């Protein structure tokens, strides 16, 4: 292959599209929130993790989450869609930072099912207790 003849990024159009740019920026914000809430272990083995100190569902179903990072004396308030809030809770559960949240899991599964519903042969598998 000749490097000057082929684009290194075959998804170049996604970087020129304004809607895709907004989605990438929002995804980066969510990854940052998750990273702060899940935390990390320092070289001495001490866990540094953010803590949710407030949560409120607004009139438009947005979820207002307030969390703090005590080591940095940092407090952040962020407004998330219900699905984004579910993704944060699910990621925290998967990282072992919180317990399971069945409502978050249900919301994520519904969104995935809706996105994949046009695929041939798509069928969501339900556990026996959900039937």
Question: What mean pLDDT is reported for the chain?
Answer: 84
The angle subtended at Cα 127 by Cα 103 and Cα 107, nearest 5°, is: 25
The angle subtended at Cα 103 by Cα 127 and Cα 83, nearest 5°, is: 115
Strand spans (E) along 26-116: 40-41, 47-48, 51-57, 63-69, 74-80
Asked whether the whole model's pTM tops 0.85, one would answer no
Q: Where are the domains of the chain?
A: 12-39+48-115
29-80 pLDDT tens trace: 999 999 999 987 778 877 788 889 999 999 999 999 999 988 888 999 999 9
């Amino acid at each position: 292959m000749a490097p000057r003849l082929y684009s290194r990024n075959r998804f170049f159009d996604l970087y020129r599209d304004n809607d895709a740019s907004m989605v990438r920026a929002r995804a980066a914000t969510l990854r940052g929130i998750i990273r702060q809430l899940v935390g990390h272990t320092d070289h001495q083995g001490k866990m540094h993790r953010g803590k949710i100190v407030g949560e409120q569902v607004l009139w438009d179903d947005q979820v207002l989450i307030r969390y703090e990072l005590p080591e940095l004396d940092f407090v952040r308030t962020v407004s998330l869609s219900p699905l984004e809030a579910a993704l944060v809770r699910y990621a925290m559960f998967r990282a072992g930072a919180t317990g399971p949240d069945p409502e978050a899991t249900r919301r994520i599964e519904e969104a995935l099912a809706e996105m994949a519903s046009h695929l041939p042969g798509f069928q969501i598998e339900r556990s026996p207790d959900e039937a």
